[in-house]
Chain A
Amino acid sequence: DSGVTQTPKHLITATGQRVTLRCSPRSGDLSVYWYQQSLDQGLQFLIQYYNGEERAKGNILERFSAQQFPDLHSELNLSSLELGDSALYFCASSVGDLNSPLHFGNGTRLTVT
């Protein structure tokens, strides 16, 4: 158990809809990362937050947004969903420095029908 909690575990929704994925980091971790893993793309870095502020952006679509709240949990919002957004979405957390590993949750499996 990595200590990172993601909810829900599974989500099935229709095209055009909007969903919110939630992540609770490990106790004491200030940094949260979001990754997307689809069958043909591997693990893609989406975005990083540190202590409530956005730190780095990766291949995140404009339809997607994220935030980190004062209690350090984070949410990833996906809107105008398309079939191609079906994927595993992982959250990871770390203390926030270069020498601290990321610890990943077990992901949310999103299916868009």
Chain B
Amino acid sequence: DAKTTQPPSMDCAEGRAANLPCNHSTISGNEYVYWYRQIHSQGPQYIIHGLKNNETNEMASLIITEDRKSSTLILPHATLRDTAVYYCIVRVVSLADSSYKLIFGSGTRLLVRP
């Protein structure tokens, strides 16, 4: 399974961009990178995902390097409500049973400061 490496914690000021890095050097060609966040003990919330190209939606932008070995999640204008644990996940593909699991790591705890 492709593993991800994230810093355990980060902080940023409210209103500034939050850039969360992730390394996934063993990623395979057909594996997507997914980002989720978990606020307190709520269910993980889907943010964004991508394969090769950069992606943007109403929540965030995802920048994937050309070699696909790392990516960065960008929250353009962080608010206090963005304080959460952010998980970068490489979605595991099993062609044998067509299963597409999400295996969570430890994530990055982002603290947005007032």
Number of chain B residues close to chain A: CB under 8 A? 26
User: What per-residue 1/0 map shows which CB atoms of A1-22 lie under 8 Å from chain B?
Assistant: 0101000000000000000000
A88 close to B100 (CB less than 8 A): no
A58 close to B44 (CB less than 8 A): no
Instruction: Kindly state whether residue B114 has any CB partner on chain A within 8 Å.
Output: no
User: What per-residue 1/0 map shows which CB atoms of B79-114 lie under 8 Å from chain A?
Assistant: 000000001000101100111111111100000000
Within 8 A of A (CB), among B42-73: 42-46, 49, 51
The B interface is mostly helix, strand or loop, or mixed, namely loop
> In the complex where A42-B105, A42-B106, A98-B32 touch, is A106 in contact with B93 (Cβ < 8 A)?
no
Instruction: Kindly state whether residue A83 has any CB partner on chain B within 8 Å.
Output: no
> In the complex where A42-B104, A98-B30, A99-B32 touch, is A48 in contact with B99 (Cβ < 8 A)?
yes
B99 close to A101 (CB less than 8 A): no
A90 close to B44 (CB less than 8 A): yes
User: A interface, how many residues as a size bin?
Assistant: 20 to 34
CA distance A2 to B42 in the complex (A): 11
**Chain B residues proximal to chain A, CB less than 8 Å:** 30, 32, 34, 38, 41-46, 49, 51, 87, 91, 93-94, 97-106
